[in-house]
Every structure is written in structure tokens, then in C-alpha cells.
């Protein structure tokens, strides 16, 4: 599991009541999700940025770990890009019939 801090700002912008701290989490099977929380100014007063981020992590940790566990049970095949041999799709497409897009109708102006 990899956790990155991707948001750290006073929130809301107009009249801040805390720091919005957001994380993206990447699981061992490459699932990615986002979680955030607001650490109140009362709690964050006299703390460093790192301590505020740690407080946010402590608030979200249980829910994040639960989601990681759920996502890591999914097969790695889900979300995988299927690579088809060249020309395979073109060979399987039906020929367009008269009146379909790309063909002109007879007698049309």
C-alpha cells in the first residue's frame, strides 16, 4: 500500500475552520482511491504541517485500511486493458448496410 498526501489547504476558503487533508491510496493490486478529512483549527493550532497530516491519517486510518482490504481481494484482471491482435476488431465488424452512416442513399439530394 502506498499513501500520498494530495491535498493540504485551509478549508473552507472563505472562512476556514480547519485544514483539508486528502490522501490517495494505491493498493498492492494497483487499485487507487481518495479519502480526505478536515482537521479543525483548534486541533491544528501550534502544530506543524506533518503533525496535522498525521492527525488526519489517524482519523481516516481505520476506514482506509478497511477499504484497502476490500479492494485487495479483487482480482487483478479487473480494470486490465485487453490487448487484442491487430485487425481482430476490424475482422469481426459487420459490413455496413445501405442507409447506415457513411453511405449515401440513392436518389437523395
Does 60 map to a domain? yes
Does 37 map to a domain? yes
Domain of residue 55, residue span: 2-72
Does 80 map to a domain? no
Number of domains in the chain: 1
Does 83 map to a domain? no
pLDDT digits (tens, 9 = 90+) for 9-45: 999 999 999 999 999 999 999 899 999 999 999 999 9
Does 96 map to a domain? no
DSSP codes, 11-80: ESSSS--EEEEEEEEE-TTS-EEEEEEEEEHHHHTT--HHHHHHHHHHHHHHHHHHHHHHHHTS-TTTTP
Does 18 map to a domain? yes
pLDDT digits (tens, 9 = 90+) for 46-73: 999 999 999 999 999 999 999 999 999 9
> Which pTM was predicted?
0.71
Amino acid at each position: 500500500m502506498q499513501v500520498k498526501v494530495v491535498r493540504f489547504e485551509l478549508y473552507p476558503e472563505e472562512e476556514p475552520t480547519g485544514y483539508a487533508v486528502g490522501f490517495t491510496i494505491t493498493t498492492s493490486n494497483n487499485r487507487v482511491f481518495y479519502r480526505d478529512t478536515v482537521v479543525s483549527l483548534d486541533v491544528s493550532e501550534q502544530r506543524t504541517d506533518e503533525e496535522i497530516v498525521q492527525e488526519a491519517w489517524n482519523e481516516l486510518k481505520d476506514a482506509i485500511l478497511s477499504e484497502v482490504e476490500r479492494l485487495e481481494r479483487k482480482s487483478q484482471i479487473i480494470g486490465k486493458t485487453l490487448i487484442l491482435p491487430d485487425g481482430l476488431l476490424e475482422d469481426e465488424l459487420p459490413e455496413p448496410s445501405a442507409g447506415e452512416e457513411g453511405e449515401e442513399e440513392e436518389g437523395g439530394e
